[in-house]
Amino acid sequence: MKHASEDMVEWFPASVKEPSTLQIDNLRDKFMQARDHKLPKAIVGIGGGSTMDVAKALSVMMCNEGSASQYQGWDLVPNPGIYKIGIPTVAGSGAEASRTAVLMGKERKFGINSDHSMFDAIILDSSLIKNVPIAQRFYSGMDCYIHCVESLQGTMINELAKGNASKALELCEKVFLSDGDDDMLLTASYMGGVSIVNSEVGVCHALSYGLSLELGYRHGFANCVAFNVLDEYYGPWVDRFREMLKIHKIELPKNVCRSLDEAAMQRMVNMTLKMERPLTNALGENWKDKMTPNKIVSLYERM
Amino acid sequence: MKHASEDMVEWFPASVKEPSTLQIDNLRDKFMQARDHKLPKAIVGIGGGSTMDVAKALSVMMCNEGSASQYQGWDLVPNPGIYKIGIPTVAGSGAEASRTAVLMGKERKFGINSDHSMFDAIILDSSLIKNVPIAQRFYSGMDCYIHCVESLQGTMINELAKGNASKALELCEKVFLSDGDDDMLLTASYMGGVSIVNSEVGVCHALSYGLSLELGYRHGFANCVAFNVLDEYYGPWVDRFREMLKIHKIELPKNVCRSLDEAAMQRMVNMTLKMERPLTNALGENWKDKMTPNKIVSLYERM
């Protein structure tokens, strides 16, 4: 990559595992030291959801004190970040449109959700996603499909989120059940992101975070593993999802929690129970009566 | 309206006629003098398309030299404007989402189209549009319907514009042919605006600007008058538009150009011929062979 001498280029190994708050803190320190604490004009995030989330989190952490872990949650960031541009090279996460920068902490996977963690500009160019490996394209695309279903079936929906989610869902189905192209997939990803900014995810995301935490699963893949057992919440869409799995010859692993000890399962349950907003969105204010620790364990055991 | 003493509130008489470059220049001078040339922190545009356009244009003109008329066109604004917030109280224009601030000049109605003339934040609250008079609600809503048709039927379309325009069109039809509510209308307006940012209008807008220039017609109304004779370009949607007219008991005037002299008609033809981008979008690169002065006159005479 050609760049001016004062530019810094960092390769983030997003395919290895999800970005962590510690990585963000270290990257911020490294950049600021190398630049003699002079703030950059802009940060450009080129990659999939994780890489874009790294760019969003870094932008915020260059202008806010302490550790990224302090800002995981909703609207906890006081200062605007550096001007940031997002360029997706994998479609589906919607990170290019959303307020969220999801980061792994010690005990939780959690997003920084703030107006300051939104990109100032994005570039959607479908030629950049054409070489994504089939499985990765599928898992990331399903991230979009799943959060659109969660958004549309949730209680925290409004007409703007509905308009974007229903169109994104339609485009995802065109892409994965029929002959939709990369422009459609990239548009679905963006519109799905817009819908999530204005609504909330649901049961699948609440469970998938636990899988990422204990099994190191990448987000889209974890969502697929979880969604596959959620017939009672998202029946018709789970059926269509299985049709897509078949068409694209994707086989999901079975019994993924078999090797986990009781302590690990407990951490996954705790992680899920922390997802108050998604579970409220999916199940209403009394979600704790429905999503009990036993229920969560039984769902994980079916994956 | 309650406001801090240093805030300035200006009532813009948008229902009288469309905003002009001269009005913007004068408003800018008035504000800057009253504020001792200290720039404001933000500009909030509360109103319909014209009022929001005034806010967008003012924001730009507080940070750029000379007259607003110098920046009518595409990407001619060098400096970013003041932080601006849009709050629509009439739905349809899409001004809350678009790059365009349409202004009347001496000889032309033309938009400032720039990234700097986009709102930094918008607030969509359907309770603010519930008291719009029926006819105004209809004409503004049809502005959305019509630019979505023009966007979808044009050549300058991409998947993102298509996704937004097709959903906005669907919502408009729900609102004006069935029982769609104000949330749907406000969402349609916003998504229609997003689609226009990423595509272009067409024959109807190209003709309607002439009507506004010579007859002083408000934008949405002018669009309705023009669209009603455009069967050869937008047939099925013109049919549906007439159905909406009937349902909402809206009667359009006839022979609107009857009273115009030859010079006025010539100015309308010239205005239409200046709309190169919309006409290229609708009719292709060779639009001049199809949209001749005679053809334009014959269309105006049918209105």
pLDDT tens, residue by residue, B20-29 = 999 999 999 9
Pick A163's closest partner by Cβ from B159, B167, B181: B167
B-chain CB neighbours of A168 within 8 Å are 163
Task: Find, in chain A, the residue whose alpha carbon is nearest to that of B169.
Answer: A163
pLDDT of A199-237, one tens digit each? 999 999 999 999 998 999 999 999 999 999 999 999 999
Q: Are residues A278 and A231 in the same domain?
A: yes
Which of B159, B175, B191 is the best substitution to test chain A (most A C-beta atoms within 10 A)?
B159
Q: What is the pLDDT of residue A185?
A: 98
Tokens of A255: 């019994």
Q: Are residues A141 and A67 in the same domain?
A: no
Residue B1 has pLDDT above 70, yes or no: no
pLDDT of A143-182, one tens digit each? 999 999 999 999 999 999 999 999 999 999 999 999 999 9
Residue A4 has pLDDT above 70, yes or no: no
B-chain CB neighbours of A190 within 8 Å are 160
pLDDT of B234-264, one tens digit each? 999 999 999 999 999 999 999 999 999 999 9
Q: Which residue has the higher pLDDT, A2 or A300?
A: A300
Whichever domain contains A279, its CATH number is: 1.20.1090.10
| Site of tokens 């809350």 | B96
Task: Find, in chain A, the residue whose alpha carbon is nearest to that of B190.
Answer: A160
Last residue of a domain, one of B132, B155, B182: B132
Which has the closest alpha carbon to B88: B98, B77, B80, B73? B98
Q: What is the pLDDT of residue B6?
A: 72
Residue B4 has pLDDT above 60, yes or no: no
Rounded to an integer, the average pLDDT of A97-109 is 87
Task: Find, in chain A, the residue whose alpha carbon is nearest to that of B181.
Answer: A159
Contact status of B158 with chain A (Cβ, < 8 Å): yes
Q: What is the pLDDT of residue B16?
A: 78
Q: What are phi and psi of A113, to 5 degrees?
A: -120, 105
Q: Does the pTM of the predicted model rise above 0.95? A: no
Which has the closest alpha carbon to A189: A262, A114, A97? A97
Task: Report the mean per-residue pLDDT for chain B.
Answer: 94
Pick A187's closest partner by Cβ from B124, B163, B181: B163
Tokens of B41: 């922190």
pLDDT of A256-265, one tens digit each? 999 999 999 9
ipTM of the complex: 0.85
Whichever domain contains B113, its CATH number is: 3.40.50.1970
Contact status of A155 with chain B (Cβ, < 8 Å): no
CA torsion A117→A119→A124→A130, rounded to 10°?
Answer: -40
Q: Are residues B146 and B249 in the same domain?
A: yes
- For chain B positions 163-192, those within 8 Å of chain A (CB to CB) are 163-164, 166-168, 171, 181, 183-184, 186-188, 190-191
B-chain CB neighbours of A167 within 8 Å are 163-164, 166-167
Q: Are residues A178 and A238 in the same domain?
A: yes
Q: Are B183 and A158 in contact (CB < 8 Å)?
A: yes
Q: Are residues B181 and B244 in the same domain?
A: yes
Contact status of A120 with chain B (Cβ, < 8 Å): no
Task: Report the mean per-residue pLDDT for chain A.
Answer: 94
SS (H, E, C) chain A: CCCCCCCCCCCCCCCCCCCEHHHHHHHHHHHHHHCCCCCCCEEEEEECHHHHHHHHHHHHHCCCCCCHHHHCEECCCCCCCCEEEEEECCCCCCCCCCCEEEEECCCCEEEEECHHHCCCEECCCHHHHCCCCHHHHHHHHHHHHHHHHHHHHCCCCCHHHHHHHHHHHHHHHHHHHCCCCHHHHHHHHHHHHHHHHCCCCCHHHHHHHHHHHHHCCCHHHHHHHHHCCCHHHHHHHHHHHHHHHHHCCCCCCCCCCCCCCHHHHHHHHHHHHCCHHHHHHHHCCCHHHHCCHHHHHHHHHHC
Q: What is the pLDDT of residue B106?
A: 77
pLDDT of A227-236, one tens digit each? 999 999 999 9
Q: Tell me the sheet residues that pair with A275.
A: none
Last residue of a domain, one of B116, B132, B148: B132
Q: Are residues B246 and B103 in the same domain?
A: no
Q: Are residues A142 and A120 in the same domain?
A: no
B164 pLDDT band, cuts 50/70/90, is very high
Q: Are residues A21 and A139 in the same domain?
A: no
d(CA A176, CA A170): 10
B-chain CB neighbours of A159 within 8 Å are 126, 171, 181, 183-184, 186-187
pLDDT of A180-206, one tens digit each? 999 999 999 999 999 999 999 999 999
Q: Are residues A33 and A124 in the same domain?
A: yes
Q: What is the pLDDT of residue A16?
A: 78
Q: What is the pLDDT of residue B109?
A: 81
B-chain CB neighbours of A162 within 8 Å are 187
CA distance B184 to chain A (A): 6
Q: Which residue has the higher pLDDT, A13 or B58?
A: B58
- Count how many Cα atoms sit within 13 Å of the Cα of residue A262 in the half-sphere of its side chain: 1
B3 pLDDT band, cuts 50/70/90, is low
- Which region holds residue B255: left if phi is over 0, alpha if psi is between -120 and 50, else beta? left
B-chain CB neighbours of A158 within 8 Å are 183
Residue A13 has pLDDT above 70, yes or no: yes
Q: Are residues B181 and B116 in the same domain?
A: no
Q: Are residues B78 and B199 in the same domain?
A: no
DSSP 8-class letter at B20: B
pLDDT of B66-106, one tens digit each? 999 999 998 999 999 999 999 999 999 999 999 999 998 87
Contact status of A252 with chain B (Cβ, < 8 Å): no
CA distance B167 to chain A (A): 6
- For residue B303, what are the contacts with CB-CB under 8 A and spacing of at least 6? B211, B225, B226, B228, B229, B255, B256, B257
d(CA B24, CA B21): 5
Last residue of a domain, one of B132, B161, B194: B132
CA torsion A252→A258→A260→A266, rounded to 10°?
Answer: 90
Q: Are residues B116 and B185 in the same domain?
A: no
Which has the closest alpha carbon to B148: B126, B163, B168? B168
What percent of chain B lies above the pLDDT cut of 90?
Answer: 90
- For residue A234, what are the contacts with CB-CB under 8 A and spacing of at least 6? A149, A150, A153, A202, A203, A204, A227
Which has the closest alpha carbon to B227: B200, B206, B249? B206
Q: Are A159 and B184 in contact (CB < 8 Å)?
A: yes
Tokens of B133: 């008079």
Q: Are B187 and A160 in contact (CB < 8 Å)?
A: yes
B-chain CB neighbours of A124 within 8 Å are 160
A18 pLDDT band, cuts 50/70/90, is confident
Contact status of A26 with chain B (Cβ, < 8 Å): no
Q: Which domain holds residue B73?
A: 1-132
Q: What is the pLDDT of residue B108?
A: 78
Residue A5 has pLDDT above 70, yes or no: no
- For residue B46, what are the contacts with CB-CB under 8 A and spacing of at least 6? B87, B89
State how many domains chain A has.
2
| Site of tokens 């053809």 | B295
Degrees (nearest 5) of the Cα angle B5, B2, A160?
120
Task: Find, in chain B, the residue whose alpha carbon is nearest to that of A172.
Answer: B163
Pick B159's closest partner by Cβ from A159, A166, A183: A183
A-chain CB neighbours of B162 within 8 Å are 187
